[in-house]
Structure formats: structure tokens, C-alpha cells
Amino acid sequence: MKEVQVQQIGQRLFLELPADGSFTVEQQWLLIPQAGNNYLLMKKTANPYLNPNFQKQYVPEEWGDFDFFEVE
């Protein structure tokens, strides 16, 4: 578990994160509200469904040796 502090500069609040290598500049993180005025901090990852080549990926037939004409 890591400790994070809220700091203020002028009219803005920011989170002060530990500089132990867990966080780097330009990383994007999501702050997700939870029950009881708590938050979950999660690293933002790329959405594989937004990849333009996602629909072009080959998906093998699940039952390639199954003869559908045998079904009554």
C-alpha cells in the first residue's frame, strides 16, 4: 500500500504520489468513486476494442470437425 497526499497550489488540488518508480510522468490514471466517499486509483490502459485491426483478427472455428447437417 502506498500513501498519497492531497496538496494545493493556488486554486488547484493535486495528488502527491511517491517517486519510487511506481508512477512516471505522462502516465494516465483513473480516479473511480467508491462507496463511503472513497476512491480507487487505477492505471488507464488502452482499449483493445478501439484497435482498427481488432475485427481483422482470425478467429478459428470452435468446432471445425462438427457436421451441422447431423443435427435433427
All cell numbers assigned to 29? 490514471
**What pLDDT does residue 25 have?**
86
pLDDT greater than 90 at residue 58: no
Decide: 31 and 41 in contact? Cβ < 8 Å.
yes
Cα separation, 31 vs 40, in Å, equals 6
| pLDDT at 47 > cutoff 80 | no
Report the C-alpha gap between 14 and 4 in whole angstroms. 10
- pTM for this model (two decimals): 0.51
Would you list the domain boundaries of the chain? 5-70
